[in-house]
Structure 1
Amino acid sequence: MASIKDPDVGEQFSSKLEEIRTKLLKQAMGEAMNEATAQFCQGHKQYMKSVLETCAKKCKEDETMFATIQAYTEDLKAKRSVMKEKNTECPEILEEIEDKERHKELLIQKLEKLKQEQAKNRELLHSQNKANKDRLKNLNKMKDIFQERLSLEIRKIQGEKLQFIFRNISHEKPESAFTFLLRINEDGVYQIVSCDPPLAQMDYLERRLQETNNFSAFLANVRKEFVALHNATKTT
């Protein structure tokens, strides 16, 4: 049995405690990241459900318009047949036919517009689905970087928002938190809701994230800005 006076005993005990603490921290960070990813997936499913419901509604409207146009066409044919048989002019019927012809043209134009809108919605849905899959893939790839290299904690706030918490910014107080709150709007665009402490460059970093979609570079730059702000505060 090792002697308590042996200096290596204390060092081994401290090393073991540090190893246990690191494993627990990684486990907690992994659970928080998985929860945030699941929430993002749920939001994406709800958005796709809403778009599909809108497309279904548009299709029903198209069917109604087709039926109306067909009814007008049959009615016009019948009236023309009556006019041909009587071989006489009927101003009232002619005017009604002209009105229905104009109405028919308007319905055809509206139908064409609805088709164009549906095509745009399908294209938007496809693009949004691909973009969201890419974001999920990138988040999973960057999980280890977030936890181990940037000392970053991610929390789910109010369902659709994520809070990013940086630590080890201050050497004097490594547990001090530097945070910002992020959301993804209905168009799939990253938006910064708040930042504590405020960063002068946050608006610029947000625009760069929206332009490049490079989330790992964005997080690294935010951490750099927090470090620079902390060092500037120390020197003043």
Structure 2
Amino acid sequence: MASIKDPDVGEKFNSKLEEIRTKLLTQAMGEVMNEATTEFSQAHKQYMKSVLDTCSKKCREDETMFETIQAYMEDLKLKRTTIKEMLAEVPEIEEDIGDKQNNKEYLLKKIEKLRLEQAKGRELVDLQNKANKARLKNLNKIKEIFQERLSLEIRKIQGEKLQFIFRNINHKNPESAYTFLLRINEHGVYQIITCDPPLQHAAQLERKLQETNNFSAFLANIRKEFVALHNATKTV
């Protein structure tokens, strides 16, 4: 009982109770803090995992985007190089086009010139054909006259040649033939091809015919030459 009445007992008891209360409170707070820390840690881990997943996804997307951009840059570089090469070829292409244009104009002028020359050639051929027809017509008239008066026969030979046959030169043999072959060349010039028998002055008679274009006189002179040749042969 003496101890109960001790004035320090109450204070010690209170102190002890405060110590117990503090200890219990500290323990409770520790448990609460541990539980809160655990929950916070788990939440933080979940959050960080989510952040890391998001960052990883973003990094992959960025890498893909960078690869795409790099591919675009490479393609753009290649296109720029191609364009540069094409631009470098432009002067050569323009020069080639200019040469082809000049060549085209030259060819067109040449074609036009050839066309005009061809037209002129056709015109000359037509004129020559008309002249030859006129000469043949004249020969037909001469043929009729000489057939009656000089016993001349004219035959058309293949190749636009004419054979002139004189008879009644040899009175002992009136049917004996004295002939020469004549043609009109591409220039419309008379040419003696052969004479049977050969005439010494055939070239001079041909040249005179070309100068005078007097066919009647030419035939008369040819006959005279055949007559003179016959008389000379008869005398011999």
TM-score w.r.t. length of structure 1: 0.56
The equivalent of 1:181 in structure 2 is 181
Distance 1:116 1:178 in 2: 47
Distance 2:219 2:94 in 1: 71
Structure 1, residues 94-149: CA drift from partner, whole Å, max 9, x if none?
21222123212321331232133123213312321320231132123223312111
The equivalent of 1:119 in structure 2 is 119
Number of positions where the alignment pairs a residue of Structure 1 with one of Structure 2: 150
Letter in 1 for 2:116: Q
Higher relative contact order (CA 8 A, sep 6+): 1
Unpaired runs of 5+ residues, structure 1, are: 1-85
Residues 5-20 of structure 1 aligned to structure 2 (within 5 Å): none
Structure 1, residues 3-37: CA drift from partner, whole Å, max 9, x if none?
xxxxxxxxxxxxxxxxxxxxxxxxxxxxxxxxxxx
Letter in 2 for 1:204: Q
> Secondary structure of 1:142's match?
helix
1:95 aligns with 2:95: yes
> Secondary structure of 2:194's match?
strand
Distance 2:115 2:158 in 1: 37
The equivalent of 1:149 in structure 2 is 149
Distance 1:194 1:140 in 2: 21
The equivalent of 1:68 in structure 2 is none
Residues 54-203 of structure 1 aligned to structure 2 (within 5 Å): 90-158=90-158, 160-203=160-203
> Secondary structure of 1:194's match?
strand
How much is the aligned-residue C-alpha RMSD, in angstroms? 2.4
> Secondary structure of 2:208's match?
helix
Do the aligned residues in 1 keep the contact of 2:142 with 2:216 (CA within 8 Å)? Answer: yes
Letter in 2 for 1:224: K
1:219 aligns with 2:211: no
Structure showing greater radius of gyration is 2
Structure 1, residues 159-213: CA drift from partner, whole Å, max 9, x if none?
5322211111122322221111122333333222211110011111112223333
Unpaired runs of 5+ residues, structure 2, are: 1-86
> Secondary structure of 1:90's match?
helix
Distance 1:163 1:136 in 2: 13
TM-score w.r.t. length of structure 2: 0.56
Distance 1:156 1:141 in 2: 15
Distance 1:159 1:121 in 2: 22
